[in-house]
Amino acid sequence: MNLYEAANAYREQLKARDVAATSRMATAYGDAWRAINERLSWLLEQYEAEQDAGRQPPIYWLYLQDRLQSLKEQAQTALLEFVSSASDTVQREQAAVVKLAREHSVGLFQAALGDVPAGVSVNFNKLPKGAFEDLVGFLSDGTPLKEHLIRIAPAGVEQIERGLLQGVALGQNPRKIARAIKGEFDGGFAQALRVSRTETLRSYRSATLRSYEANGEVVSEWVWLANLGSWQRTCAACLAMNGRVMPTNVVQGTHVNCRCTIIARPKPLSEILNDPSIPDTRPKIEDGEAWFRRQPEERQRWILGEKRLAAWKAGQVTLADFVQYTDDPRWGPTRTETSLKGALENANARKTYGRDPAGAKPLALSVLGGSRVDQGPADDSDSNGGPSSVGFNAGGGAAHPRIAAAEAAIAPIKSHEIGLAFTDDGTEVYRKSGGPRHVPIPDEDLPRIKDHIFTHNHPSGLSFSIGDLKHIPRIDAKEFRATGINDLGEHHTYSFRRPATGWGVSSEEAVNIGLTADTEASVLDFSDALAGRTDEELTRGHAHRRNEILAQKLGWTYERTKLR
């Protein structure tokens, strides 16, 4: 099989398993609803009898004779049985697709080599089954699968109770109440199905990447392959990602129900076999933009719609601008299709800062030399003190171009913070995404950051917070940086550089001295306020002023650089 035939064949195998798993879960959920509906119908029959007799039952009627309580108990029992069944189904599917990935990775590697010359062979080592055990029974954030699914039960019971209370309070017809409850209740099945598909495919992709990483002598990258043969059912984001090259240590951050494939990108045979005379036989994979440009206008319109296609044809956006990257703390990195407004915003960030919204080109966060490419969300450590940073030249002065590009890419992000660590030569060695206030860095990650250059974005665009000060000695990077764009559109970077003798204080001491400096800065702010400076001006400058004072007290080198 060639590369595309292999990818399609393996995709169909996954699809067949998904259909079977969905059927099993639907049957289990139907059983749960029938058990609940039996008790619900009994209750609503009594309710209807009261209405037929000319009496509108008050809300407390539901609590008499354990009417509502017995229904809730029945619902809880039925839903817990469904959760147990669903958890077993998902875990069985995870185990099955991990086994498939173990086999498929070999086939995809061989297909990605292309037509190898006669007499030439390349070994691809199949990992032992035990290497994938941790991919079964867990969510993408490492928590047990059942721990998440179990939440469906109390949520379902709450929906039933809320629907009844609201319906009775409004005096609604019993059939209307039943329909409303059923509609809300079905959301639990949709949620379970979403978890099933997301986690099953995550296990498959993780196992595939693990196989590629274990064969680093022959594979160092993978290629995103969209289902171009079914373009009508493939979103613009996945079409744009087609042909993108990623290092093997980067996950395929995609959306729910995505059918795209991770294809091995082998090293050239000439490199593997150390023989420059061997031609490069690897098949060429067309990038999504080039593919889209070749399509007839009618097909392009089907994919983008009238207004978005007009913007693309006018050169306002590229296909990649329709990729919206997010990084959910539970589900991890995702790419979804965005609106015209979102695409125009992405295009502006790309043109202004060199940021690739698809997160896969050697721009912005795509660090040359095989570092991670995915662009995750950034936290606002300026407000709540979790560190997030961007790389900086520890010797002072301008940042390494790769670090500067990374800072330019994450500075405009307002939804979250991203922490990055770099070596002096601009090689990315660490990445962590957080929330809107900070980037949590566990103790086990500290050795990966120590003595390197740490940087993060501040959505506020302001200087280091008191919370940041706590993390500077703890992380013990040689350079601690932040970058961001403030409410005036001004882009600044901020930097603390470690003295030759070390930071010299504990985290607690850094915070206490920071609070003292903050008080001194507030006194100066008060004088400026009397002189006529506005609250907005004082807010923009307060953290910077405090950190200047702190640096003098501790003997640290502090810099603020205005980039625009």
pLDDT at 464: 93
Residues of the chain under the 50 pLDDT cut? 360-397
Helix or strand (DSSP H, E) at 432: strand 428-433
Interval 246-289: pLDDT, tens:
888 787 888 877 888 888 899 999 898 888 888 888 888 888 99
pLDDT at 474: 94
Dist. CA 41–CA 49, nearest whole Å: 12
Taking CA atoms, 282 is separated from 84, 170, 296, 429, in Å, by 46, 67, 28, 29
pLDDT at 298: 92
Buried b / exposed e across 464-488, counting CB within 10 Å, b at 16+? bbbbbbbbbbbbbbbbbbbbbbbee
Total residues belonging to the chain: 564
User: pTM for the whole thing?
Assistant: 0.54
Q: What is the DSSP letter of 426?
A: S
Taking each helix axis as running N to C, give the angle between helix 174-214 and helix 67-113, from 0 to 180 degrees, rounded to the nearest 10.
30
Tokens 């640290």, residue located: 556
Judge contact between 389 and 476, C-beta under 8 A.
Answer: no
By C-alpha distance, which of 98, 122, 96 is closest to 109? 122
Taking CA atoms, 161 is separated from 59, 71, 172, in Å, by 11, 9, 15
By C-alpha distance, which of 396, 389, 465, 476 is closest to 434? 389
Longest Cα–Cα distance in the chain: 94
HEC readout, 172-193: CCHHHHHHHHHHHHHHHHHHHH
Give 336's strand partners: 324
Interval 521-553: pLDDT, tens:
877 876 777 677 887 888 888 899 999 999 999
pLDDT at 31: 83
Tally DSSP H helices, then E strands, for the chain.
Answer: 17, 11
Mark residue 176 as left, alpha or beta (left: phi above 0; alpha: psi -120 to 50; beta: remaining).
Answer: alpha
Dist. CA 441–CA 432, nearest whole Å: 7
Q: What is the mean pLDDT of the chain?
A: 80
Question: What's the N-to-C CA distance of the chain in angstroms?
Answer: 53
